[in-house]
Structure 1
Amino acid sequence: MKFKLYIFLFLLSSAVFAQNKQIETSIDTTKNKIGAEFKLTLKTVVTSTQKVEFPKLKNIGALEVIQSYPIDTVKKDGTYELIKKYGLTQFDSGRYTIPSIKILIDKKPVFSDSLKVEVANVKVDTLQQKMYDIKDITTIDEGIGNWWIYVLIVIAILGIGAFIYWYIKKHQKKKIEEEVYKTPIEKATSLLNNLEQKELVQKGEIKEYYSELTDIARNYIEEAIHIPAMESTTSELILAIRTASTKKKMTLTPETVENLERVLRQADLVKFAKSKPLDFEITEDRNKIQKVILTLDNAIPTENPEEIEDQLLNEAQRQKQIQLQLLKKRNARIGYSVAAVILLLFVTTTFFVATKGFNYVKDNIIGHPSKELLEGEWVKSAYGNPAVLIETPKVLKRMDTQKVLPKEAMALIKEMQLFAYGSMIDNFFITVSTSKFKQPTEIDLSKALEGSLKIIEAQGGQNIIVKQEDFQTNEGIQGVKGYGTMTILNPQTKTSTKAYYELLLFKQDQGLQQIMILHEEGDTYANEITTRILNSVELQRASN
């Protein structure tokens, strides 16, 4: 998802929040105890023809809406005062900001004011409260609950074993095809049988078929008659065979040589002229090659011609038996090897899962993107003006603000720079930005924080829970820190993930410096990255 600069906090802080006071906002108390109710009241005065819509909310900022009260209506001199109350609570101590709420008046958005509240712990009177002994630690059997982990391990190991078996068998098959045969005729006959089993013609691979067919014939001629057939052209090979038949006193009929020449020239047309023979022609060419090879082998003078003839008759059957025996032996060896590998993987993985835990095995064997960022080579650099000096696992890339900010927003800014790594839907996302305004502006960091969160919400952030506190760099520069969780919606996969974020904001004389970090909630490696980044933050003072 293309990052649209999160159109920046501070711009919205001065533009979005500066509006007419059509909504009066109040709260019954700004300090309360954990679990106690705050009552947020929104009031507006409208005419009888105006339509007001108050939102239905489950959460307002980090506070939970425990009750949405009915709207009270009070008539005053031809106008109506509408009063809407929300009952809020929080079960964690701290200082919180109630963000602005959007109300629709005649379908036009109007925003309430933001308020700050504080939730304090309930003090326990240890003198009056009866104390009890600490109970013994209870062990919990987690074996049943984690059964799916072991199922995944077994499936992964079986998958690895199947791949190893397939890989070894594939390469062993090639080795079988490359076996050294006792005689050239034995090799040629076997290769012709294997060629038919590949079914290249049925697959439409005619060129490959003719190439292998003629290579079988050329190899046989080279090994049996000792002619450089593989390096010769068709004409050279035919001439060499005729010469060899005379020297070696081989009895060859003109038909045998002509059949060989026809098939070789047909193969040349298929390979170089893209000729496409008919099916019956392909079958005839194959039979011709087989007959030529057998005829050539019979024509070679031998001491025992009867023995050679018997060998030719039984060659196909003998070759199949040899290959079958070789396959059985190799399959047995493959099976033993794969079983040993699977057993070794299972024992090793089980040992590490039992001693180190499943997450350790997953992160160190399968890999974890945040872990790779944490353990990679970090870069310390200065970004923006006034500069933000920060250490990050990757170099931040400059973003083009002209393509991101609207023209009316850019009109307010004298200078703005933005740098980022990743995006909101990645496993780790960080931005650093600096800006200066053209006109003197009193920046409220709390409202700037709210503006930033609204932009994040527009970019796919949902159910944003925010906590706010003061932040101070190692050099003593004061700022505001917002942090909490949200749900990130991925527009491509239509899935959502729970994310944790931290926002740092610092104001200069006429500008703002901001750092935002966002990552998947519960990612311990990303938490370490965030801590290291925030500890490295240094700020350059703005020059007038």
Structure 2
Amino acid sequence: MKKLIFFLLLLISTGIFAQKRVETSIDTTKNKIGAEFKLTLKTSVDTLSKVIFPNLKNFGALEVIQSYPVDTVKNNDRYELIKRYGLTQFDSGRYVIPSVKVLINNKAYQTQSIAVEVANVQVDTLKQKMYDIKDIQPANESIGNWWKYLLGFLLIHIIAAAVYFFLRHKQKKKIEEEVYKTPIEKATSLLNNLEKKELWQKGEIKEYYSELTDIARNYIEEAIEIPAMESTTSELIAGLRAASVRKKMTLTPETIVNLERVLKQADLVKFAKSKPLEFEITEDRNKIQKAILTLDSSIPVEVPVEEDVLLNEAQRQKQIAIQLKKKRRQNIITAVATVVFLLMATTIFLMVTKGFDYVKDNIIGHPSKELLEGEWVKSEYGNPAIKIETPKVLVRTDLAKTLPKEGLALVKEMQSFVYGSLIDQFYLMVATFKYKQEGQVDLKKSMELYLQTLESQGAQNMIVKQEDYETKEGVSGLKAYGTFSRINPMTNDKERVYYEVLLFSHEGGLQQILILHQEGDKYANEISERVLSSVELKQESR
């Protein structure tokens, strides 16, 4: 039975140690800025195994400056493969070399993660050669470049004003169309305008014939009162002959024939791509004009009664009102377009002179900037109270769910207050703890546990810098700051976050202040500075 148990234990231990196929080591865990860490990965395999070590440019926040060739040591029927990497970092702090994958026969094995520290290089001012401070240099008395900005600003507004008046004049000229008293006046005027366009001279023959026949059809529809615009050429001619009989018009057959020829010629141009000669185009135009004049002169003149005169005048006034309404609407459109143009011109000017960030932050808007420039609140939070000035009132929250049960059992009283959430652009938390057992709290150990908590909540590749901190009243504490990476759960994008943590051991308890915001947010940096500079610890009333 003892042999059986021993054999089982031997199998279990063999299985456990067999999983550790890759050994991870480093020559030193503490080094100076820019110095080389030598990371070593070692594995032992048989002669037929295939091993692929990672080929990375960075191990976490550490840069790979040298990837050394694999060393091979033969040991009986096995090979010991040793791969070394030269790593470095040019910023002080505490870093973690993360676990990476090594493929052995296409099976992945994880290496161990290792924590390292990078320290600043101490400068010996006694040996370093010192130089005198330079004398004050006279300032350059040039007038600067402000006149260029002023000239550009004036130029943009002059161009904008010129465009505005041009559009206004053009719209005014367009909308102030004459309200013609009779259809013949309208047709004659439109024929003259058509000739001024010189469409057929520009090769736009189809457009020319289309407008020419539309003028004739529109006149016939208004003056003789038959549906000329919707009728075919044959229907139009038939309707014209019937109307001439009905209205007792003195029309000659030649007039109707000439009009029909021109309309059919226009149909060929529009639908059969026919191209008349220049003299034919001129003749067709003259035939249309002559036909319109003949038709107008053949319409019997009726002496209008007084009611008809009043009705015509009312219609004329109605047309004028419609035109005025149309004019006002177009004036509004012109004014809006001008304002939009001026806004765009001003925005472009500001982008050229001050940059896109200035326009984005001051015109489009920036959440952190609005928070910074809002109305701040100074209040007390927790027990013993922390006096602090914040851009918004902090809201009470419960941290009991986030703390481990072992730590929660030691806490006598706990209060926490926050603004925002962990995934917002700016997050602020103030928390106070009083423990059941009184005594001085080890701030360095508390800070280490606090940073480990951030890592457990998704912080990766954390860069840590620590320094002693002292409030204006002389209360000492510990400050940690730096950056870390995290995955935004809303967008699934990787983002870099700047953090600041303040810890105080005051009145037998622990006071915490945490600030998180996106790296590179200058307005959030100003908020952090203002918040932290306002921190005061209130003495507990006894």
TM, length-normalised to structure 1: 0.48
Rg: which structure is higher? 2
TM, length-normalised to structure 2: 0.49
> Relative contact order, CA 8 A, sep 6+: which one is greater?
1
